[in-house]
Amino acid sequence: MGNLEDKLNELRVAIDAVDDELLELILKRAQLASQVGEHKLDRGNSPFYVPSREASIIRRVLARNAEAAASEHQTKIPDEAIHGIYREIIGACLALEHPMTVAYLGPEGTFSHTAATRQFGATPKYLACGSLEMVFDEVESGRATYGVVPVENAFEGAVTPTLDLFADMERDIFICAEIQLSIHHHLFSYADNLDKVEVVISHPQPLGQCRNWLATHLPNAQLMESSSTIRAAQIVDEEKRNDNGALDWNKCAVIGPYSIVDQSELPLVKRNVEDFHDNTTRFLVIGQHDSPASGEDKTSLVMSIKDEPGALHKLIASFAGRSIGLTRIESRPSKKKLWEYVFFADVQGHRDDANVAEAIAEIQSKPGGFIKVLGSYPVSKPL
């Protein structure tokens, strides 16, 4: 028994030594990051947050992690853990270069908040906004350095309020990064069994992403929309405190993220009620600049052209003729003229790539052609 305890103590001492070494290296990295910040200040107009640089760091360490897994003498740490560790280190070092405020659709605990902390770590100041429009306003005014907004879900499609804000040509906003977040929805309720649930409250997107589950397990329940998933939980808690509101809190349920357990007293009743368990939502980071090329990039555009037969084909042909892939295309009303539409597209490549730049110029030269580059940014990977 003594030999075993001696061995454990020896291993713990070795771990402490490694921890000291890790901290020393992190402090050294922070010092180097501070020097980078000083050089950027000297240059005057260089952004402190450079998504292409961060993407290259993350891609490189994930590749090194995969190499380690291929070695029979190494233990592989999950990619999502490596990603999280380096995001925190990068975020802490970035804060030494320049303090940041990140706006998101609040309140705290929403999927937008989770996506924001996933991208920037725990160090920045986070600003919860009551609407997507407020997120755009905070960034455009400079009160927030960056904002995080949802743009599409893998199964429910586009988040149209976000697209409409991008379609506002008066706004001077750029996309500088994207985040792919795995989404799991859970059911919370004070009801002691599902048969007693009469109202289910959530944001419209989660209600849509759980449509089949709700139809099967709560077919008679009324669906009630809220501004966010966390707000839905707050509504039920407020009804419980008042106990004389319009809703019977004992017969309400809420669908939302696991973080509701930290924001509310609502009991968790059922896990993973989303219809598709590989459910993923894509978020965009908006700011006053986009990103330099990283080697694996995407460019988001909003386009329009003279309304005539074959109009959409003329837009797409400019990219197809140059072998530029479109990963997404979406139409939205222009809100300027009846039955007039604008088209949102994500294309493979950076706006500075010769073929992408040529395609953009060609569309601008077409009769009635209009195109606005919303931003180029590194392609993200779901973890």
- Measured CA to CA, the distance from residue 224 to residue 201 in angstroms comes to 5
Give the sign of the dihedral formed by CA 105, CA 111, CA 114, CA 119. Answer: negative
The two structure tokens encoding residue 313? 């084909």
Confidence of residue 45 (pLDDT cuts 50, 70, 90): low
Domain extents in the chain: 2-96, 100-183, 186-270, 290-378
> What's the pLDDT at 43?
67
Statement: 290-378 belongs to CATH 3.30.70.260: yes
Closest listed residue to residue 149, CA positions, set 278, 300, 31: 300
- The yes-or-no verdict on residue 318 having pLDDT over 80 is yes
Hey, do 100-183 and 186-270 end up sharing a CATH topology, with the first three levels equal? yes
For tokens 């965009």, what's the residue? 284
Closest listed residue to residue 127, CA positions, set 145, 150, 140, 152: 145
DSSP 338: T
- The yes-or-no verdict on residue 69 having pLDDT over 80 is no
Secondary structure class of 279 (helix, strand, coil): coil
Q: How far is CA 167 from CA 176, 304, 336, 372, 378, in A?
A: 17, 11, 11, 9, 22
Asked if 236 contacts 254 with a C-beta cutoff of 8 angstroms, the reply is yes
- Give catalytic residues, as residue numbers: 281, 283
DSSP 273: -
DSSP 258: T
Q: Please state which of the four CATH numbers 3.40.630.30, 3.40.190.10, 2.40.10.170, 3.40.50.20 is assigned to the domain occupying 100-183.
A: 3.40.190.10
- The yes-or-no verdict on residue 149 having pLDDT over 90 is yes
- The yes-or-no verdict on residue 145 having pLDDT over 80 is yes
AA letter at 75: T
> What's the pLDDT at 338?
62
Secondary structure class of 306 (helix, strand, coil): coil
Which fold, 186-270? D-Maltodextrin-Binding Protein; domain 2 (3.40.190)
- Measured CA to CA, the distance from residue 79 to residue 66 in angstroms comes to 8
> What's the pLDDT at 369?
77
Mean predicted confidence (pLDDT) in 343-360: 93
pLDDT in tens, 258-287: 989 888 889 999 999 999 888 899 999 999
For tokens 């809220």, what's the residue? 226
**Residues in CB range of 312: below 8 A, 6 or more apart:** 305, 343
The two structure tokens encoding residue 239? 């009804």
Mean predicted confidence (pLDDT) in 8-37: 89
- The yes-or-no verdict on residue 74 having pLDDT over 80 is no
Mean predicted confidence (pLDDT) in 87-111: 87
Sheet strands side by side (includes 199-202): 222-225, 199-202, 252-256, 186-189, 268-270
> What's the pLDDT at 250?
87
> What's the pLDDT at 68?
76
Compute and round to an integer the Cα radius of gyration of the chain.
Answer: 24
> What's the pLDDT at 96?
78
